[in-house]
Amino acid sequence: MNLNLKNPIVFFDLETTGTNINSDRIVEICYLKVHPNGNEESKTLRINPEMHIPEESSKIHGIYDEDIANCPTFKEVAKNIARDIEGADLAGFNSNRFDIPVLAEEFLRAGVDIDMSKRKFIDVQVIFHKMEQRTLSAAYKFYCEKDLDDAHTAEADTRATYEVLKAQLDRYPADLQNDMAFLADFSAYNKNVDFAGRVVYDENGVEIFNFGKYKGVAVSEVFKKDLGYYSWMQNSDFTLNTKAVLTKIKLRELTGK
């Protein structure tokens, strides 16, 4: 089944130095842009993360320090990537919990202002886990009846994710709508305010903390009675995106805008 698109959609996958969305960096990115008319564009970039790639990570994706020594840094290609994904929705496999937060952090470090708040984020892994409970390789075998020979290379994983989503739409026509807004909502774990999910919307659309001693409490209420909590988070190991979201809420409460 072909995707019913109103906007372009970019399927993407990252290979990274590790799994910490706060501090780990991209070493490879592949994205496949699918246009509403069905045209496709694909690009794969190796990135110098400006840090050592741990051996355990290299063993997974096969990328070592010497492979990216002469590659551009993310800052050097950030504007080109931002331009390529401008106006497009985003899709991936485990992307809502990992790839999108990591990508957002890289853009912030590079000083590239990209507004992703109006994008739809479709996580093919969530759809798969809600329906079948499997990994990407198993999903590819299950839905597409193919072996994912090059698993853990960004290009192979990106293409497989695209094919799996189309096959999911074919397999579950009664449960899944070929509509990006529906799929984004279906594949969301929470209504996140920040990409890391530290702040989420409650059923009334109020921003609440999703962790710690103030879990379930409105951010604005916490800042009124414990402004030191804001300072603590700004000075702790939270993502740049989370800190920016908290600052925006704090300024909104102060100015009333």
Weakest-pLDDT range from 78-82, 185-189, 191-195: 185-189
pLDDT digits (tens, 9 = 90+) for 46-83: 999 999 999 999 999 999 999 999 999 999 999 999 99
Q: Does the domain made of 9-186 have the CATH classification 3.30.420.10?
A: yes
The pLDDT value recorded for residue 178 is 97
pLDDT score for 149? 86
Each domain of the chain, given as residue ranges in start order, spans 9-186, 199-255
pLDDT surpassing 80 at residue 119: yes
How are beta strands 89-92 and 9-16 bridged, if at all?
A: parallel
Q: Give the whole-number percent of the chain exceeding pLDDT 70.
A: 99
pLDDT, one tens digit per residue, over 194-234 is 999 999 999 999 999 999 999 999 999 999 999 899 999 99
Sort residue 10 into left (φ over 0), alpha (ψ -120 to 50) or beta. beta
